[in-house]
Amino acid sequence: MSAPSSTILWCRGGSEFSRAAADHVAALLARNPEAVVALPTGQTPLGLYAELVARAAAKQLSAAQARFFNLDDYLGLSVDHPLSYARFLREHFLMPAGVPKEHIRLLRGDAVRIEAECCDYEAAIAAAGGLDLAILGLGTNGHIGFNEPGSDWSAQTHVVSLSPETRATHVAQTQGKFAIPEYGVTVGISTIVAAREILLLVAGGAKARALAALRRGIPDPRWPVTALLTHRNLTVLAEAELQSAAAEGVMAPR
Ligand code: GLP
């Protein structure tokens, strides 16, 4: 078995960051047009999605044969709710990139039988052949998807109680316009680390502590992102501005 391989790429924020992320995804789609990809929500991947949509419009890439899942959503929101991650992904990426509906499976946060939905979701990922690539954002508290500090790293898709820090961040992002749900539903850490490749996107000064935890190189349940340290094909794309703030040791899987 090959040794874990982690790469950290530093690049300037804005369009340089978005292009670097899009290059990574485009390279996968060129190698494997039918790739199975898990997508994050949030401010960080917005530039990536805009870049992918622009490249698809310019016929520089096609996402039409790939299959897409999302990582997480709020519990109890319909897929059309303005806060819904499913809606976000449809609007910012899946529809403008021309991904056919039958290639999209998004978590239904408002499923009446949510446990059954979680099982179906895992089954759909497995039926697709597993994830070729999981693209991740990073929470200020180190969460990936909605796997909060203290999460069970062996969990698959499940319902989670959102931490006060996560909810406060989201209240601020929505300028208090919406009540932020207390619960989310997320692909579990075991599902994420089973992806054949992981791309972690880290942007914004508030992420320095979480990135520093990753760079310490020690798996620590208080920092869910450190579950990625054992992964065999992890690329971290981080804004150069974070390099000194997050410089606590060198990222090295143990
Ligand atoms: C949310 C989502 C995560 C996302 C994270 C970072 O909590 N559940 O999937 O990665 O926020 O978001 P942002 O990119 O807006 O900082």
pLDDT tens digits, one per residue of 65-82: 999 999 999 999 999 999
Q: Which DSSP helix (H) or strand (E) runs through 184?
A: strand 183-186
Please count the residues of the chain: 254
Q: Judge if the beta carbon of residue 142 lies within 6 A of ligand 1.
A: no
* Closest to 60 measured CA to CA, from 92, 27, 91: 27
C-beta separation of 162 from 146 below 8 A:
yes
pLDDT of residue 254: 39
Write the CB contacts of 191 (distance below 8 Å, at least 6 apart in sequence): 122, 125, 131, 156, 157
Residue 250 has pLDDT above 90, yes or no: no
CA of 199 to the centre of ligand 1 (A): 14
Residue 3 has pLDDT above 70, yes or no: no
CA of 139 to the centre of ligand 1 (A): 5
* Closest to 225 measured CA to CA, from 136, 154, 155: 136
Its sign, for the CA torsion 208, 214, 217, 220, is positive
Share of the chain above pLDDT 90, in %: 87
pLDDT of residue 128: 98
CA of 2 to the centre of ligand 1 (A): 31
Q: Judge if the beta carbon of residue 147 lies within 6 A of ligand 1.
A: no
Q: Judge if the beta carbon of residue 73 lies within 6 A of ligand 1.
A: no
Q: Which residues are catalytic?
A: 72, 141, 143, 148
pLDDT of residue 170: 87
Ligand 1: nearest atom to the Cα of 42:
15
- Confidence (pTM): 0.95
CA of 138 to the centre of ligand 1 (A): 6
Q: Judge if the beta carbon of residue 40 lies within 6 A of ligand 1.
A: yes
Q: Whose CA is nearest to atom 12 of ligand 1?
A: 42
